[in-house]
């Protein structure tokens, strides 16, 4: 993270536990408020979207990265720079379509599920970390990249890994000469 010299170095970090607990409390409350798993997932996604549209400028301001020239560059940027900056983990990126617009981020460590073993039986289709999908979707939308972001695999549901799928919806040719 690069901060210019004029700014006070903020070494007073907040504890990771508090953050993970807060997220857990959020999901727990949503589960109480909504009966259906889909509703909770949608709500988490919406919240994440609200975070993503604001977080993108923070990311761009701090990392100073240049405009990405391809979808794969974008996916790499999300995995290697953004995830590292905000969650301290670096997922690996796989391109899962010949057209070059579908990518998967494989997370082997996910700080948000530090204290969660598995989902309760009545919440089998809950996407616990759906907030992350919303964040990615919101952030991409603000840089004019429409995308669908979902969880393809989830360790909490018994899969081997946690996989986030990003599908970019528009062709890069549409964005030529813009700005």
Partner 1 sequence: MAIFSVYVVNKAGGLIYQLDHYAPRADTEKTFSFPLDLVLRPHDERVVVAFGQRDGIRVGHAVLAINGAEVNGRLTADGKDVLEFLGNPANYPVSIRFGRHRLSSNEKLMLASMFHSLFAIGSQLSPEVGSSGIEMLETDTFKLHCFQTLTGIKFMVLADPRQTGIDALLRKIYEIYSDFALKNPFYSLEMPIRCELFDQNLKLALEVAEKAGPFGPGS
Residues 142-171, one symbol each (x = binds partner 1 by CB under 8 A, - = not), give xxx---------------------------
**Piece of the chain touching partner 1 by CB under 8 A; list 19-27, 53-61, 95-103, 129-137:** 53-61
Is 26 among the residues that bind partner 1 (CB under 8 A)? no
d(CA 96, CA 137): 18
Is 36 among the residues that bind partner 1 (CB under 8 A)? no
Residue number with CB closer to partner 1 (5 or 120): 5
Q: Which residues contact 144 (CB under 8 A, 6 or more apart)?
A: 175, 178
Instruction: Name which of 71, 69, 68, 89 is nearest 79 in CA terms.
Output: 89
Beta strand extents in the chain (DSSP E only): 92-95, 102-107, 147-153, 162-168
Residue number with CB closer to partner 1 (50 or 157): 50
- Strand 102-107 to strand 92-95: parallel, antiparallel, or no bridges (unpaired)? antiparallel
Is 62 among the residues that bind partner 1 (CB under 8 A)? yes
Within positions 108 to 147, which residues make up the interface with partner 1, using CB under 8 A? 142-144
Contact 151, 127 (CB under 8 A): yes
Q: Which position among 21, 28, 61, 169 is part of the footprint of partner 1 (CB under 8 A)?
A: 61
Is 4 among the residues that bind partner 1 (CB under 8 A)? yes
């Amino acid at each position: 993270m690069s901060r210019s010299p004029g700014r006070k170095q903020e070494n007073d970090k907040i504890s990771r536990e508090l953050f993970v607990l807060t997220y857990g409390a959020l999901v727990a409350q949503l589960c109480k408020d909504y009966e259906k798993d889909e509703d909770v997932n949608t709500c988490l996604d919406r919240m994440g979207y609200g975070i993503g549209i604001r977080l993108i400028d923070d990311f761009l301001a701090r990392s100073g990265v240049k405009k990405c020239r391809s979808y794969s560059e974008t996916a790499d940027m999300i995995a290697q720079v953004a995830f590292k900056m905000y969650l301290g983990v670096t997922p690996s990126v796989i391109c899962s379509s010949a057209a070059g617009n579908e990518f998967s981020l494989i997370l082997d460590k996910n700080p948000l599920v530090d204290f969660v073993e598995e989902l309760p039986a009545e919440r089998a289709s809950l996407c616990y970390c759906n907030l992350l999908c919303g964040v990615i979707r919101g952030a991409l939308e603000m840089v004019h990249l429409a995308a669908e972001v979902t969880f393809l695999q989830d360790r909490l549901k018994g899969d081997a890994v946690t996989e986030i799928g990003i599908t970019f919806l528009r062709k890069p040719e549409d964005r030529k000469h813009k700005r």
